[in-house]
Copies of this chain bind each other. A is one copy, B any other.
Amino acid sequence: MTLKEGKEKFIQSWGALGSSWGINRTMAQIHALLLISPEALSAEEIMEELQISRGNANMNIRALIDWGLVFKELKPGERKEFFVAEKDMWEVVKNIIIQRKKRELEPMLRVLDEISSVDPESEEAEEFVEIIREIKLFSNKADSTLDTLVKSDSNWFVGTFMKMIK
């Protein structure tokens, strides 16, 4: 396989993966492109490589920076902005966990709290509150487990953890 084919295949597949994760195809492709790029790239270069418009590139780069997956890099003398990806996969996963926890798990916890206040004025209502209580319990545990996970370091994750639970 040639380098060109390999790069294309990677960008392609990473894009597809992203889209089953609520991340849009282009955003994931930009991330893929930067991941495999030893040098920082400018918006122009990204547009060129992926054949996308300036607006599209700009919006998705912004979003990647928001997620902590890409950083802006200013080269001395150059007016243009350049971009590099976080290359450490454990950092990438950690950032995704942090962001999704904040955007999804935490709001859900708040909703579950509100819902628990349903008046238990019937058999049915009591059953409902009980089911919600269980979901809340589980979610809280997931929440703190993720917190701990995010604080732990990569070596722990890939090394000790696996042996410990075997």
**Which A residues contact B (CB, under 8 angstroms)?**
1-3, 5-7, 9-10, 13, 17, 19-22, 35-36, 38, 87, 89-90, 93, 100, 103-104, 107-108, 111, 114-115, 117-119, 121-122, 124-125, 127-128, 131-132, 134-135, 138-139, 141-142, 144-145, 148-149, 152, 156-158, 161-162, 164-166
When A and B form their complex, which 7 residue pairs have the shortest distance between CB atoms, in order from nearest? A6-B118, A89-B138, A20-B22, A141-B158, A3-B125, A13-B111, A6-B115
| Inter-chain contact A7/B165, CB cutoff 8 Å | no
B152 touches A165 (CB 8 A): yes
Residue of B nearest to A163 (CB): B148
- When distances are taken between beta carbons in the complex, the residues of chain B under 8 Å from A121 are 3
Additional 13 contacts, C-beta under 8 A, given A1-B119, A2-B119, A87-B131: A3-B118, A6-B128, A9-B114, A10-B115, A13-B107, A13-B111, A17-B108, A20-B22, A36-B131, A36-B132, A38-B124, A38-B127, A148-B165
